[in-house]
Amino acid sequence: MAPAVCDLLLMIQRLCIIGVGLIGGSLARAVKRAGFCAEVVGSGRDENQLRRAVELGVIDRYETDPARAVIGADMVVLAVPLGAMEQVMRGIAPHVERDAVITDVGSAKGSVVTAAEAAFGAAPAHFVPGHPIAGTEKSGVEASAADLFQRRRVILTPLPYTAASAVAAVRTMWEQAGAEVVEMGAAHHDEVLAATSHLPHMLAFALVDTLARMHEQAEIFRYAAGGFRDFTRIASSDPVMWRDICLANREAVATMIDRYQGDLTVLRAAILRGDGKRIEEIFTRAKAARDRYCE
């Protein structure tokens, strides 16, 4: 049997990470560096990646079958694409320790809660949905870094019946990884992230795709300046992961796209009628907002 949940406030004895990529691998590195975990067991579909994770010292051992990987673990982290979440949960449900804390790193929380309810019958009291607001456009265990979560926020979205001790354990794990932990409701999380993360990725993907389909694409990309590279960097992110995020948070993402399209239409109209005052007003307001909140 796994140690009592309260013991996780002191140290994780066996951490199981299902999906040892950028986020899962970075978490493993961070808690090991902090001396907060005795053993890390990895699991995933790509055995070559798992072997590499062992070689890099990211995990101590691995199991390709998640059901075997969770046995004896006191903390289980699901770092798989949102589209695979329910299947993985169904696979581990009969095997995970009764007192083990389960959490995830998915970018949309409503779909993860729904997956947990479908897989377990009801979301377990020791299940704490979570989302680290960190990452890069790179993917895979080779891109993982122990300092990825330093001074970054992690959002936890516990349910009304989630055990307080489980929330405290997950909070402590992320704090040991260097993160600042906040809590909010799952629905509010999905609305906020649709605006601040999901929409920017949609814009970057769409812009690069538009330019790539133009006849003059070679010339366009040859003369792309730093601003283009900075804005479109996130279009190099994992397409499968972002496909799943779009589908999992489709209503909130669609709402933000509609809002952006409306504002873009206003800007387009100002440009066509030569309304420099209106254009400058929009740009000035945008600059002030970014300078105030992002610098």
pLDDT of residue 75: 98
Non-local CB neighbours of 69 within 8 Å, separated by 6+ positions: 16, 18, 41, 42, 43, 62, 63, 92
CA atoms of 200 and 194, how far apart (whole Å): 9
CA atoms of 253 and 200, how far apart (whole Å): 10
pLDDT of residue 136: 75
151 and 116 housed in the same domain: yes
Does 8 have pLDDT greater than 90?
A: no
- Banded model confidence at residue 2, pLDDT cuts 50, 70, 90: low
pLDDT of residue 72: 96
Does 230 have pLDDT greater than 80?
A: yes
Mean pLDDT confidence for 255-266: 97
283 and 145 housed in the same domain: no
Residue 96 sits in a domain of what CATH number?
A: 3.40.50.720
138 and 280 housed in the same domain: no
Question: Could you say which of 184, 216, 249 is where a domain stops?
Answer: 184
CA atoms of 106 and 86, how far apart (whole Å): 12
pLDDT of residue 121: 94
276 and 196 housed in the same domain: yes
The DSSP bridge partners found for residue 17 are: 42, 77
Does 163 have pLDDT greater than 70?
A: yes
19 and 163 housed in the same domain: yes
Mean pLDDT confidence for 106-129: 96
Compare 94 and 217 and report the one with higher pLDDT.
Answer: 94
The whole-chain average pLDDT of the chain stands at: 92
pLDDT of residue 211: 87
Instruction: Kindly state the percentage of the chain with pLDDT values over 90.
Output: 81
pLDDT of residue 6: 57
For 196-209, write each residue's pLDDT tens digit: 999 999 999 999 99
Does 24 have pLDDT greater than 90?
A: yes
91 and 233 housed in the same domain: no
End-to-end CA distance of the chain, in Å?
48
Residue 259 sits in a domain of what CATH number?
A: 1.10.3660.10
282 and 211 housed in the same domain: yes
138 and 264 housed in the same domain: no
Does 5 have pLDDT greater than 70?
A: no
18 and 53 housed in the same domain: yes
DSSP the chain: -PPPGGGGGT-EEEEEEES-SHHHHHHHHHHHHTT-EEEEEEE-S-HHHHHHHHHTTS-SEEESSHHHHTTT-SEEEE-S-GGGHHHHHHHHTTTS-TT-EEEE--S-HHHHHHHHHHHHSS--TTEE-EEE----S--SGGG--TTTTTT-EEEE---TTS-HHHHHHHHHHHHHTT-EEEE--HHHHHHHHIIIIIHHHHHHHHHHHHHHTSTTHHHHHHT--HHHHHHHGGGGS-HHHHHHHHHHTHHHHHHHHHHHHHHHHHHHHHHHTT-HHHHHHHHHHHHHHHHHHH-
Question: Could you say which of 147, 164, 184 is where a domain stops?
Answer: 184
Instruction: Kindly state the percentage of the chain with pLDDT values over 70.
Output: 96
Mean pLDDT confidence for 132-146: 87
Q: Find where tokens 């709402």 sit.
A: 255
Burial of 74 (0-12, 13-18, 19+ CB in 10 A): buried
Mean pLDDT confidence for 265-270: 97
For 215-224, write each residue's pLDDT tens digit: 776 677 777 7
- Banded model confidence at residue 263, pLDDT cuts 50, 70, 90: very high
The total domain count for the chain is: 2
B/e letters for 53-68, b = 16+ CB within 10 Å, e = fewer, are: bbeeebbbebbeebbe
84 and 116 housed in the same domain: yes
198 and 178 housed in the same domain: no
Q: Determine which of 20-29, 43-52, 209-218, 230-239 has the lowest per-residue pLDDT on average.
A: 209-218
77 in Cβ contact with 30 (< 8 Å) = no
- Structural domain range at position 88: 5-184
37 and 170 housed in the same domain: yes
pLDDT of residue 259: 96
Mean pLDDT confidence for 83-100: 95
Question: Could you say which of 162, 184, 206 is where a domain stops?
Answer: 184
Does 4 have pLDDT greater than 60?
A: no
Q: Determine which of 76-80, 175-179, 270-274, 288-292 has the lowest per-residue pLDDT on average.
A: 288-292
CA atoms of 249 and 241, how far apart (whole Å): 12
